[in-house]
Amino acid sequence: MTNPPASNAPETRTDPAVKASTLVEALPYIRRFAGKTVVVKYGGNALAGTSNHDALELFAEDIVLMRLVGMRPIVVHGGGPQISELMKRLGKESEFVNGLRVTDKETVDIARMVLKGQVNPQLVAAINVHGNYAVGVSGVDGGLIRATQRNPELGFVGDVTSINPEVLNGLLDDEFIPVIATIGCDETGQAYNINADTVAGAIAEAMGAEKLVYMTDIEGLRTDLDDPNSLVRQTTADVIEGMIADGTIAGGMIPKVSSCLQAVRNGVGRAHILDGRIPHVLLLELFTDDGIGTMVMADQAQLDAHLAETVTPST
Ligand SMILES: Nc1ncnc2c1ncn2[C@@H]1O[C@H](COP(=O)(O)OP(=O)(O)O)[C@@H](O)[C@H]1O
Ligand SMILES: CC(=O)N[C@@H](CCC(=O)OP(=O)(O)O)C(=O)O
Residue range 207-225, pLDDT digits in tens: 999 999 999 989 999 999 9
Output the residue whose Cα is nearest ligand 1's atom 4: 221
CATH class of 33-308: alpha beta
Give the separation between CA 300 and CA 75, rounded to whole angstroms: 29
**Nearest residue to 221 via CA among 201, 251, 194, 200:** 251
Please, which pLDDT band fits residue 288 given cuts at 50, 70 and 90?
Answer: confident
Can you give the pLDDT at residue 231?
96
**Nearest residue to 252 via CA among 98, 111, 119:** 98
State ipTM: 0.96
How many other CB atoms are found less than 10 A from the CB of residue 264? 25
pLDDT of residue 5 exceeding 50? no
Can you give the pLDDT at residue 14?
65
Please, which pLDDT band fits residue 277 given cuts at 50, 70 and 90?
Answer: confident
Cβ of 256 closer than 6 Å to ligand 2, yes or no, is no
∠ CA 163-167-171, nearest 5°, is: 135
The active-site residue out of 78, 136, 256, 293 is: 256
pLDDT of residue 242 exceeding 90? yes
Active site residue 41: yes
Query: Cα(28) to centroid of ligand 2, in Å?
Result: 36
Cβ of 83 closer than 6 Å to ligand 2, yes or no, is yes
- DSSP assignment letter at 232: -
Can you give the pLDDT at residue 291?
77
Give the separation between CA 113 and CA 119, rounded to whole angstroms: 9
The active-site residue out of 139, 197, 291, 293 is: 197
Give the separation between CA 148 and CA 197, rounded to whole angstroms: 17
Ligand whose nearest atom lies closest to the CA of 219: 1
What mean pLDDT do residues 245-249 have? Answer: 94
Give the separation between CA 312 and CA 123, rounded to whole angstroms: 31
111 CA: nearest ligand 2 atom: 16
Active site residue 44: yes
What mean pLDDT do residues 184-208 have? Answer: 97
Query: Cα(80) to centroid of ligand 2, in Å?
Result: 4
pLDDT of residue 312 exceeding 90? no
Binding residues for substrate, by number, are: 79-80, 101, 193
Q: What is the pLDDT of residues 131-183, one digit of tens each?
A: 999 999 999 999 999 999 999 999 999 999 999 999 999 999 999 999 999 99
Domain ranges of the chain: 33-308
- DSSP assignment letter at 46: T
Q: Is 176 exposed, middle or buried (0-12, 13-18, 19+ CB in 10 A)?
A: middle
43 CA: nearest ligand 1 atom: 22
